[in-house]
Amino acid sequence: MSATLTDLEKKQIAQAEELLFSGEEKEGFCKALFFGRFRAQSILPFPELSEAEEVIGDEAVSAVREFCESHIDAAKIDRDALIPDSVIHGLGDMGVLGMTISEQYGGAGMSQQNYSRVMEVIGGHCGSTSVFVNAHHSIGIRALELFGTAEQKEKWMAPLMTGRKLAAFALTEPMAGSDAGNVRTRAEPTEDGTAYILNGEKRWITNGGIADCLTVMARTPDPTQPDGKITAFLVTPDMAGFEVLEERMEKVGIRGTATGRLKFTNMRVPAANVLGPVGKGLRVALTVLDFGRTTFGAGCTGAAKFCVEKMVERANERIQFGKSLGEFELVQQKIAEAAADTYAMESATCHTAALIDSGAEDYMMETAMLKVFASDQLWRIVNDCLQIWGGKGFFTDEPFERMMRDARLNQIGEGANDVLRCFVAAVGLRHLGKEMETLLKKPWEAIKFAPSKPKLPVKHDHMTYFARQIAKQIGAFSWACKTALVKHREGIINQQLIQARLGDIATELFMASCVYSRLTNLLLNGTIEEPVKMREFRTGALYLRMARHRNRQRFDDLKGNYDVETVAVAKDWLNHNFEASN
């Protein structure tokens, strides 16, 4: 049964088609899941660093860990709502703020895999510092490196990488956040074409009020669209009309970051400051957010590892009812599930970073999945960690209440998780739907859409069971997607509850596939001591069982749910007049 789309929805679909699917079609691992396929060549073998790269990463990790422990006081940063200049300059001097930038511009040229290892260390030590580095490097400087001209890079790269000057990425506005296409800031070209006049407001911009160079998204005129298209500009605070309304907005977590609110009034920006092609600003934004989401995953992994370590510490030392906490099954459950989900986060971060290093052209689904899974699971893991620490964990002399406040941002920043769930489903369903359209022209090919399951390569007997279960769920997932498209057709765009379930199933399958790949490598590695190998195997295997269980619940919810009643009650309350009832 098809649903009629509004003119606005048709316009949004057309814009998404132009932005996301205008180039040559590529089928990556995650897109293939929607077709019921397991692209073994995309996930196996699990990525491993070369010996030389591993040495580089080990040295960087060791140096950053020592710096964090000696110079970054996370509690003081939170208390003072300020990251000291000494920390910023120290990170700059160590090369952290330009680690992945090309050596041509003075960076270290580090791989995304090694940089993710570094971000894992920072994320496990201080949430504010992790977000600061991510905003400055992964989406700030990275935009300049990928889209800047030689002149722009020559001017800005060196000072930004030292931390003596700071970068920011200014996209969010009062009416534009996850809906990035709703940017209202306008940039009108001058008559002579040498500059643009910017007017608008930005808010919730990390480093926004203290940055020396900002990538600002603004809408420029375009003959094909009445509202124009979005263009990226390099903006500096010394430009007339640049105003900082709030330098440090007070917030619940990551309090050390300077989250600013900005206003531009008839601000003249030279045409030479356009970053990337005119009208392609959203492409700039989406590209750099892929890098930011990957390092988000790394930061969450570091925080989760810290929590697992602290859960074990508390469970072993705290005695209740004549036993250590670790002897109680409910405590054991929290520790085991936290360790298993952390293992999955780490596995997917490594795989996604390796995709970037490989030069792959499309990994937007993988980075979105990683960001959603890692931030959701960290939120639960921090909560369980605090629960094990009990009353002691509730007080500010321990780090857990701060970590909980910091972790909450991860589910909102760089794409709200619910939006990304629907994004994952929409992208995957779009490709599947296009292929299903061939049924209208070639009904004899319908056999291609019959229920089926892929065959996963099995390199070790211990993985046979898991290969069978993952394959079974991939087949069931593809059939569920096809069923949803047949039932709703274009109207699937308005079925967010269905999209979210499909997005979560796909995400869990991607995580499980990364873990499957990693465990295969582990079992084939003859250099790891058997007790260490078995502990890691049991941890990863537990995750695979947990993933299967969670997906089975989602499949059940697709078939039987109370969505209609949920929507009806929500509408009752949305239409309720609270003032009248009071």
The structure tokens listed for 501 are 């379930």
pLDDT classification of 13: cutoffs 50, 70, 90: low
Q: What is the pLDDT of residues 128-140, one digit of tens each?
A: 999 999 999 988 8
Q: Above pLDDT 90, what percent of the chain? A: 84
Q: What is the pLDDT of residue 22?
A: 57
Degrees, nearest 5: CA angle 456-553-293:
70
The structure tokens listed for 196 are 């643009």
190 pairs with which residues across the strands?
none
Helices (H), 358-458: 364-393, 400-409, 417-436, 438-441
Name the one residue in this structure whose structure tokens are 């060549």. Answer: 41
Mean pLDDT of 74-102: 95
Q: What is the pLDDT of residue 376?
A: 98
Helices (H), 416-495: 417-436, 438-441, 464-488
DSSP conformation class of 280: -
| Pairwise pLDDT comparison (363 vs 448), residue with the higher score | 363
298 pairs with which residues across the strands?
none
Mean pLDDT of 233-244: 98
Q: What is the pLDDT of residues 167-182, one digit of tens each?
A: 999 999 988 777 777 8
Query: Which pTM does this prediction carry?
Result: 0.94
Q: What is the pLDDT of residues 340-378, one digit of tens each?
A: 999 999 999 999 999 999 998 889 999 999 999 999 999
Q: What is the pLDDT of residue 438?
A: 73
Distances (CA, A) of 550 to 324, 329, 336: 30, 20, 16
The backbone torsions φ and ψ at residue 519, rounded to the nearest 5 degrees and listed phi first, read -65, -35
Residue 2 scores a pLDDT above 80: no
Q: What is the pLDDT of residue 105?
A: 84
What distance, in Å, lies between the first and last C-alpha atoms of the chain?
42
List, as one string, the DSSP characters of 191-221. TTSSEEEEEEEEEEEETTTT-SEEEEEEEEE
Q: What is the pLDDT of residues 289-338, one digit of tens each?
A: 999 999 999 999 999 999 999 999 999 999 999 999 999 999 999 999 99
Residue 1 scores a pLDDT above 60: no
Which residues in 18-90 belong to E strands, given as ranges? Answer: none
Question: Are the beta carbons of 84 and 78 closer than 8 angstroms?
Answer: no
Q: What distance in Å separates the CA atoms of residue 527 and residue 517, rounded to the nearest whole number?
A: 18
* SS3 (DSSP) at 48: coil
| Pairwise pLDDT comparison (12 vs 73), residue with the higher score | 73
Q: What distance in Å separates the CA atoms of residue 146 and residue 152, rounded to the nearest whole number?
A: 11
Residue 19 scores a pLDDT above 60: no
Torsion from C-alpha of 235, 281, 202, 222, nearest 10 degrees: 100
Nearest residue to 376 via CA among 312, 297, 294, 290: 297
Degrees, nearest 5: CA angle 356-362-363:
60
Q: What distance in Å separates the CA atoms of residue 561 and residue 472, rounded to the nearest whole number?
A: 22
Residue 574 scores a pLDDT above 70: yes
- Chain mean pLDDT for the chain: 93
The backbone torsions φ and ψ at residue 322, rounded to the nearest 5 degrees and listed phi first, read 80, 10
Q: What distance in Å separates the CA atoms of residue 355 and residue 349, rounded to the nearest whole number?
A: 10
Q: What is the pLDDT of residue 139?
A: 87
Distances (CA, A) of 162 to 91, 129, 136: 8, 16, 11
CATH topology of domain 29-45+417-569: Butyryl-CoA Dehydrogenase, subunit A; domain 3 (1.20.140)
Conformation bin of residue 254: beta by default, left when phi > 0, alpha when psi is -120 to 50: left
Mean pLDDT of 35-53: 96
Catalytic residue among 414, 437, 490, 508: 414
The structure tokens listed for 506 are 């796909």
Residue 23 scores a pLDDT above 70: no
* SS3 (DSSP) at 45: coil
Q: What distance in Å separates the CA atoms of residue 64 and residue 119, rounded to the nearest whole number?
A: 9
Q: What is the pLDDT of residue 579?
A: 86
Letter string b/e over residues 401-435, b meaning 16 or more CB atoms within 10 A of that residue's CB: bbbbbbbbbbbebbbbbbbbbbbbbbbbbbbbbee
Q: What share of the chain is helix, strand, coil (3-state, %, to 5)?
A: 65, 10, 25
Question: Are the beta carbons of 297 and 413 closer than 8 angstroms?
Answer: no
Q: What is the pLDDT of residue 444?
A: 53
Q: What distance in Å separates the CA atoms of residue 401 and residue 378, rounded to the nearest whole number?
A: 13
CATH annotation of 168-282: 2.40.110.10
Flag the least confident range among 5-14, 25-34, 230-239: 5-14
Mean pLDDT of 456-473: 98
Cis omega before residue 45 (within 30°)?
yes
Q: What distance in Å separates the CA atoms of residue 196 and residue 190, rounded to the nearest whole number?
A: 6
Q: Above pLDDT 70, what percent of the chain? A: 94
Question: Are the beta carbons of 360 and 381 closer than 8 angstroms?
Answer: no
Q: What is the pLDDT of residue 182?
A: 87
Catalytic annotation present for 145: no
Q: What distance in Å separates the CA atoms of residue 22 and residue 20, rounded to the nearest whole number?
A: 6
pLDDT classification of 537: cutoffs 50, 70, 90: very high
Residues 6+ apart with CB under 8 A from 330: none
Cα-Cα-Cα-Cα dihedral sign, residues 127, 129, 135, 141? negative
The structure tokens listed for 409 are 């941002």
Mean pLDDT of 541-553: 98
Q: What is the pLDDT of residue 442?
A: 66
Nearest residue to 33 via CA among 359, 491, 558, 503: 503
Domain ranges of the chain: 29-45+417-569, 168-282
Largest Cα–Cα separation, the chain = 82
The structure tokens listed for 73 are 């006081």
Nearest residue to 253 via CA among 378, 121, 71, 428: 378
Q: What distance in Å separates the CA atoms of residue 517 and residue 567, rounded to the nearest whole number?
A: 40
275 pairs with which residues across the strands?
232
